[in-house]
Copies of this chain bind each other. A is one copy, B any other.
């Protein structure tokens, strides 16, 4: 703690304020409140009371710099001692480093779980044979003699052709430049880094002697909200480290539409591009910093992301994605050198980008399909749902696939929910009412709860609905909720954690507005599925398996997801939660050419349906804005359950 006595503020003096974990730095006029600075930076912040210091939602932690604050009703002494302050009541009088607590816990540790589980590996279409496009090769090239006086490159080509059956071999210009000297340094013993493009191999780097240092690849899921980077050992294919963090573009808008709007001016498109590249480079740095690895040892990167993110990643105009007829610049992304993008890997490194299907169905789906059996299954029909800030669906099998997307919003990732947070340390990941209004929950990590993540929110809503605390239209029933009911500046709510048990020394509340956001999100997804099926002339019963991916947290309770009408009411055994498939798909593409080809072919084969222009979609959506649905007959098991409850 670095408290200051009262000192007069010098007006027009500027202080440097950095917000973590977004790594956003601004120059702020001294005297401005931290809350206003957060708003200036366009970072997400909750402040229901309008800066009166009463709601306590704008709590932040000062990590560095001097400040002046007081304990108050909304800020307990224990938090105050840990450096927490209310952003609305704290003026900036020094250079500060400030952490936004809701986001600070998205650590390396938590996302390691995001990879696909051993159990789920049996479902995947992707192959696990280790055959990356990049290879390190140690080889001894015969020194030239008067009898064998072929050029250096030709002798190298001949040797590689004989020993590795590599027939067509070219080399990067920078390799050619150093070839003559390197070939003669260790009696012709060299180490080559080879990359296989569609038709031929290329030498992309060269070293004298046998080079012990390993080579690495990066798999990366570029999410609208969060990114995951995995560092892969290219000699055995093992995922040796991961890092994840928030997309630093968040300050320019929370969803893809607002980012596209932000990018309207060319310099802002470039700003978004640079923020994304910086996010990725920071994560790469984080993934290698504790290991004896240089970024130059990374020779390949495989990316997967939604269509907008890939446009921004490549600094390509995204405007037409959101203008009718909703068209991306490219589907299959042409070959790019990492040096073109300023990516923090070896400049000669090669980049794979999972192909895009349409404006709102991107590489997260094409690569994600590798984690489902759809690409190899001949007869059975599967439905693959990937729920991020956008919800994207695919129905089909090896022979046909239909896909569409809907705007799910960030509620299931913890956005748009007052005490929502990602599935990270401190999050309530499962939730239950027992014996009336007693509450039981599990928290990720060893912490008092700080908030609630997607899977916890699904549980909360299902339980509240089934127990009659929340009506079918999402309204809280004050009478049944009794002493858990609260009404404050934010609105009406249900207390789920009492002050004494909460990390923030305050009540954790789910508000009616949060419930409305959750219902909108689940309605968007259910109605998209439903409409897609109607277009195909089939029903949910025709689907053999449901593969669920996304950032809810791994403990998603499918039963509860059905109760709120997020997923259809079919046999439970058909459901499989398969984690962050976008990331794992990018990893699989890195691992084997076969996966890359499978994904490219899949993207060509998919039929893309643009929901924006489907006349029936709004009706489907409106009908889904109830718990579980306006038409209760669609959810017979929920109807039964409610009937039983009423009988009791």
Contact = CB atoms under 8 A, between A and B. Distances in A.
Interface of A: 144-146, 149-154, 170-173, 176-181, 184, 199, 314-317, 319-320, 324-332, 334-336, 340, 356, 358-359, 608, 610, 613
Contact of A329 (B151, B170, B325, B327): B151
B608 A330 contact: no
B151 A327 contact: yes
A317 B146 contact: no
A170 B336 CA distance: 11
Contacts of A172: 334
A198 to B, nearest CB: 8
Nearest to A320: B180
A181 B266 CA distance: 11
Nearest to A315: B177
B179 A329 contact: yes
A146 B613 contact: yes
Contacts of A145: 325
Given A199-B199, A335-B170, A610-B146, A330 B177 contact: no
A166 to B, nearest CB: 15
Given A171-B334, A340-B173, A610 B149 contact: yes
Contacts of A314: 173, 176-177
14 contacts: A146-B613, A151-B327, A153-B329, A153-B330, A153-B334, A170-B334, A170-B335, A172-B334, A173-B334, A176-B329, A176-B334, A177-B314, A177-B315, A180-B319
Contacts of A330: 151-154, 176, 179
Contacts of A152: 320, 327-330
Contact of A153 (B149, B331, B613): B331
A403 to B, nearest CB: 13
Nearest to A170: B334
A150 B317 contact: no
A145 to B, nearest CB: 5
Contact of A327 (B149, B324, B327, B356): B149
Contacts of A173: 314, 334, 336, 340
Contacts of A176: 314, 316, 329-330, 334
A595 to B, nearest CB: 21
A348 to B, nearest CB: 12
Nearest to A357: B151
Instruction: Give the 9 A-B CB pairs with smallest separation, nearest first.
Output: A153-B330, A144-B327, A180-B317, A146-B325, A151-B331, A151-B328, A180-B329, A149-B325, A152-B329
Nearest to A152: B329
A178 B269 CA distance: 13
A324 B152 CA distance: 13
Contacts of A329: 151-153, 176, 179-180
A204 to B, nearest CB: 12
A445 to B, nearest CB: 43
A179 B319 CA distance: 12
A21 to B, nearest CB: 30
Contacts of A608: 149
Contacts of A149: 325-327, 358-359, 608, 610
B179 A327 contact: no
Nearest to A327: B144
Contacts of A316: 176-177, 179-180
A158 to B, nearest CB: 11
Contacts of A613: 146
A336 B172 CA distance: 8
Q: For A325, A334, A340, which residue has the most chain B Cβ atoms within 10 angstroms?
A: A334
A310 to B, nearest CB: 11
Contacts of A177: 314-317
A146 B315 CA distance: 25
A613 B146 CA distance: 8
A365 to B, nearest CB: 15
Nearest to A198: B199
Contacts of A340: 173
Contacts of A326: 149
A358 B148 CA distance: 12
Contacts of A179: 316, 329-330
A330 to B, nearest CB: 4
Given A153-B334, A173-B314, A173-B336, 19 more contacts: A144-B327, A149-B608, A151-B329, A152-B327, A152-B330, A153-B330, A153-B332, A170-B334, A171-B334, A172-B334, A173-B340, A176-B329, A176-B330, A176-B334, A177-B315, A178-B317, A180-B316, A180-B317, A180-B329
